[in-house]
Structure 1
Amino acid sequence: MKKIAFFCWVLLIALTAQAQSAKKLFKEAEGYFEEKMYSQALELYLAGLKLDPENPKANFNTGLCYLETAYKEKSLPYLKKTQQIKPDIHKQLLVFLGEAYQYNHQFSEALKQYQAFLNTMEKDDPVASYINRKMFECNNGIRYMKDPAKATINNIGSVINSKYADFAPVISADETVLVFTSRREGSTGEELSPEDNQFYEDMYISYKANGKWSTPRNLKEINTDQHDACVALSSDGKQLFIYKDKQGGDLYYSDFDAINNIWSKPQSLGDNVNTKYYETSISMTSDGQTIYFSSNRPGGSGGLDIYMSHKTPEGKWGEAVNLGPSINTPYDEDAPFIHADGTTLYFSSRGLAGMGGYDIYRSEHNEDGTWTAPENLGYPINTANEDIYFVLSADNKHGYYASAKEGGVGEKDIYIISMPPRKTVEVASQIKTIQVKAAAPTVKTVEMKMQEPIEINSNATIVKGKVIDAETKEPLIADVVLVDNITATQLEEHKTDTEGAFSTFMPSGKNYNFSVQKEGYLFHSENFDIPEAKGFQQFDLVVELKKINVGSKIVLRNIFFDFDKATLRKESTAELENLLEIMQEMPKLKIEISGHTDNKGSAEYNKTLSGKRAKAVVDYLISKGIPAERMRSAGYGKERPIAANDTDEGRQLNRRTEFEIIGK
C-alpha cells in the first residue's frame, strides 16, 4: 500500500508539473497570438498541446493560427476538437470550421457549418454577405471537382526549392530563364525581418540547359537589404519587373547586361503606372508595347483592379486604362499575365466564380477591344486556397506557380503544371510549310528546326540560337535587331550573351526583318512573314557572321520586288538602310549588287529582270549619296543557283539579291 501511495504521489507531481509546463507554454503562446505573430504562437501551442491535448482554448487558437499560415488545411482537427470539447467557445466557431473544411476541399461539410451559422444570425447581419460568398465558393468547388481539368502538377524540385518559402516564379517565353522570390538563408538583408522573424525576400535566377535547371543565383546586384520581389519577366528574359515597398507599393524594371552578366539598377515605370496607392503586379506583351498591371487606385471597380498602358513614341508608359467590368469585380483582381500570343490574359480574382481565395482565370482580347467572359482554369489548378502569380510558356504546355502543398520541399514551393490541351492548331513541322520569304543560302550557315506538332492555341514565334564567327566558329557578342518591315519600325534590339546566345520573340501578324550586326562583320538577315493565327513556332538558328573582306558576300533577304517588276517595295526599307550604313561607315568599300532567279522562264528574260533589280538597289544607294563609282550591279539570272530548282524551297532560295565586297 505504501508503494502504491508513493507511486500515486509521484504521478500527481508529474502531472502537476506537466500541467504547469503546458500552462506556461500556453501563456507565452497567447502573448504572440495577441500580437498576431501566428507562426511563433503556433510553435508554442503545439508544444503545449502535447502536454495538455484537451485544452479547448489552446486547440481553438491553434486552429486560428493555422488559418493565418500557408497550411490552412491543418486547422481542421484542432477546430473539430474544440467543437467537441467546448462548442460555445466562440460565436464564430462554425465559420472557422466552415473555412477549415473548405480548405480541405470538404465542401459539403463546409456548407453545413456555414448554413448552421446563418441559421443563428439576424437577416441584416453584415457577416451574412461573407457567409453567402463562402457558400457560393463551396458550390463552385463541388462543381469543379466533379469535372477536373486534365492537368498534372509536380514540384519543380529541390534544385530550385528550398526549406524556406520560394514563390512568384516568372519565366521567359521559351522556359530557359526562371526568376523567383525566396526567403531562404543568405538573403541580402543581414538581419531577420521584424515583421515575422524570417529572412528578407530576395530574387534568384536559374537557367535551363539540357532539360535541367541550374543552381539559382542570388541577384545581389539588384537585391537590397529590404524585401525585393520579382513580378514579371519579358518574353526574351532580358527585362525583369520588380515590386518595391515605395509610397505604398511601386513597380520597377531592370535590364539585363549580357556582356557583364548583371542586371541594371531598377528604374521606376513612371507616374502613369506608379501612384501613392498599391501597384502590385505587372505583365508586358511580347512586343514590349503594352503592359497590364494591378492597382487599388481610386476610380476602379473595388479593391485591386487590372489596368493597361501603351508605350508612347517617347518610350514612356501612357495613361492607365481600367480593363472594366468584364475583368474587374468589387473584390480583388491581381497578378495579370499576358500570354506570348498577345491576346490571352491570365489573372487571379477573388470576385469571380472561384473555389476560395484567389482563383486563376483566362480571358481573350477581342478585335473590338472587349474581353471574353473569364474562364476558371478549374481544379486541380485552382484550389480552395490562394492561387495566384501564374505564368505560362509560349507553347501553352507548362504553367508555373507557387503553392504550399503537403510533401513539398519547404514552406511554399514552386510547381510546374502540365497544362491540359485547349484547341488543336496545325503547326508546321517541316521547313517547306514555314512562311519565310527567303531561307538560308546554305544549310551550314543557318540551321532551322521546327518543333513537332502539339495541341495549342498560341499565336507566337520564338527565334533563338547562337551567333558565331564564320571562320573560327567562336561565339560572338553581337546586336540582334528586329524590325517591322511594313512600318520600318524597330521593335527590339539586344545583344547576345558571352556565348553568342540570343532569344527573340515575334507575335503573329507581322512581316519581320531579323538581323544580326557586329562591327567589322557583314550583317546577316532573315525574313519572317508570320500570318495571324499561325500557331506556335520555334526556329533554332546558328548565324555565321562573315568579316568584311574582299570576296565576302551575303544574301539580302529583306529586299522585295513585286512579281515581274524591278521596283523596290517599301518593305525593303530596313534592309536598304542596313546596307547604306555599311557604305557610309566604310567610305573606301566597293561592292557588287547582284540579282539572281530560279530556272523558270527564258535565260535572257531572267538575266534582264535580275539585272534591273540589282540596279534598283544601286540606284537607291546613289540617291542617298553613295558615289556610283563605288558600286556595280549585275544580273546573273539562273546562272548561279545555290539550291536545286526542282522544289519550291530550292527555287525560293535561288530568287535572291546578293551583296559582295569587291574592294576596300
Structure 2
Amino acid sequence: MKIKKSIRKASSLLLLAFSVFKASFAQDIRPLSEINSPYNESHAVRSPLGELYFSVGYHPENTGGTTDSGDIWMSQPISNGKWSKPARIKPLSTPGNDVVVGFTGPSNILIYHDGQQMPQGIHMYSKNGNNWRYEKKLNIPDFKNQSSHFSGRLAADGKSIIMSLQKDGGEGNEDIYITFKKSETEWTTPLNLGPIINTFGQEQTPYLTNDNNTLYFSSNFKANGRGKDIYYAQRRDESWKNWSQPKELSTANTIGSESNYAKIFDDEDLALFTTTSNSEGMGDFMVIAFEKLVLSEEDSVVSPEDFIALNQDQQELPISDSLKQEIVSSVPDSISGPPAIEKRVESRKEEVKTVETETVVKREIAEETKVVNIDPANDKKVNREEELNFVQIRDQRNKKPIDYRITIADDVEKKVLKNQDEMQQEWEKWNWNYIEVSAKGYIPNSLTVEEWQHLKDKTLQMVQARAGARKVLSNIQFIRGTADLADARSIQELDLLVDFMKENEQVKIRLEGHTDNAGDPELNKELSLSRASKIRAYMTLKGIDFERIRITGWGGSKPIADNATEQGREINRRVEMYIDR
C-alpha cells in the first residue's frame, strides 16, 4: 500500500508539473531548461513514480569522464512545471554507453550496457529504498550490436522491446528490430522490421505508441543536408514488416539533428525529443505537442505485391501461396486516419522564419569567406617556365588594395618576401609550391601555385577578421579516422594561424570540427571534437592563450554538401574557424 500511495503522490506532482506546460506548449517547441546542459542529453524514459531517467554523454562527472558517451541521470518533477537538478545514478552507469530501456515496475529498470564493463546487452536492476541493485541480464538470442549506438524502449504493455542496433544481415548501418517477451528474462531473437522502415542509412531511437501500431524513429537516409529527421509509420498487419511509407514529422524537425521522439507523458498530449539545433553539437531535450499519424489516400502505401517482393529475399523459408493471400487480405482497400493536425501557432512560424533568416546570413558569410576565387575556365597545370601572375590583393568588402606580406614555401622550407617582384625572382631559383598571404586585421590565405595562377581577374580578396567571419581550414588534413595530422602542409597551415593570432591579439576564435555522416554518430562527434582539440593544443603550445580558442565537435550533423556522393562527403570532413571576437 505504501508503494501505491507513493505512486499516486508522484503522479499528482507530475500532473501539476505538466499542467503548466499544456496551455503554453500547444504546437510550440520549448526546451526542458532545468535538465539541459552543455553535454549530450538523450533517450529519456519516465518512471512509474514520475521521474525522468535519461542518458548524458561526455559529462565530466560520468564514470568514464568526458569520453564516456552515456551515463544514467535522473531528474524529479517539482512545483510550477519545474524539474530538479539532474543527478547521476552511479549504480546504473558504466564507463561505456548506458541507455534506459524501460521500467518493468516501480522498482525495476532495464538498462543497456555496451560491454565495456558489463556484458553487452540489456540488464535488469531493482531498487531497494534509495539503492539500485543488479539482478540479471536478459537472454536475447543473437543480440550482437556492432555499433557504439544503441536505442530502445520497452513497449507500454511490457511484452516487447523495440530497438536500434547494427548486426549482420541488416539493411545498412543501424536498423530497427523488435524482440518479444517469453518470460521475465527470456526474449525472442530480434526481428528486423524490414526494408520499408530500414534503409542503407541509420535508423535509430524507435518509439511505439501504446497500441503498438505507430512507430516513430529517426533516420538520415535522405542525406538532405541536415542530420537525422524524425519519421513515423503505421503497422499494416501482424507481421511487423508491412508498414505505411514513413513520413517526416511536420513540427519537430529543424535545421539540427533530431531523435528520441516519444510520448512519455501519457497524462498530457506532449512528446519529448532531442535536438542539436540549439547547442554546440550536443543534444538538448525539447517538449512539443505530440504529433499523431495522419494518412491520406495520396500517401504512398506499399502494395501487397510490393511488400512480398521487398521481403521475399529476406525470408528463411519460401513464401507459400496461402501466406501471400493472407498478406494480401490483411491490407485494407482504403486507409483513413485521424483528422489533420492543427496548424502551428504563430510563435512557431516566427521561429521558423528566424531560422531561415539565420541560414541566409550564414550562407552570405560563407560566400564572403570564399577567398580563393579560382577561375573555372582556366584549369591548366602551371608551366614553371612562365612568369608568375601579378595578383592584386584587395579588401573583400570595399575592394580597396591593402598592405600585405608574402611567404613562399615547399614542404620543408619557408621564406618571407618583401613583394611580388621578389617572388618572381625566387620562382626561378627553387621549386617552391605554396604561397601565404597575410595582412594585419585579415584572415590569412594559403594557396598552391596553381591556385595563384588561376585566380579570377588576378585578384585575391582578403576577409577582415571581424566577428562572424568564417574560414574552412581545408589545408589541414588528418589521417583518416584519427585526429593525427596527415602532412607537413597541415603544420604550415597551423603555423600561419599561430602567426595570425599573435599579430591580432584581440581576436578570439572558435574551431568547429565536422565529419561526414558515415558510421556511428557518437564516434563521429567524438572524432570531430578531437580534431578541433588537436588544433587548439598545437596553437597553445606555440604560445596562444588557451582561453582565446573555443572548440566544438558537430560530427556529421551539419553537412555543407551532399553526403550521398564521395565528393560531398570529402567536403563535409572539415574544420572551420570562426572569428568570435
| TM-score, structure 1 normalization | 0.36
The higher relative CO (CA closer than 8 Å, separation ≥ 6) is in 2
When Rg is computed on C-alpha atoms for both structures, the one with the higher figure is 1
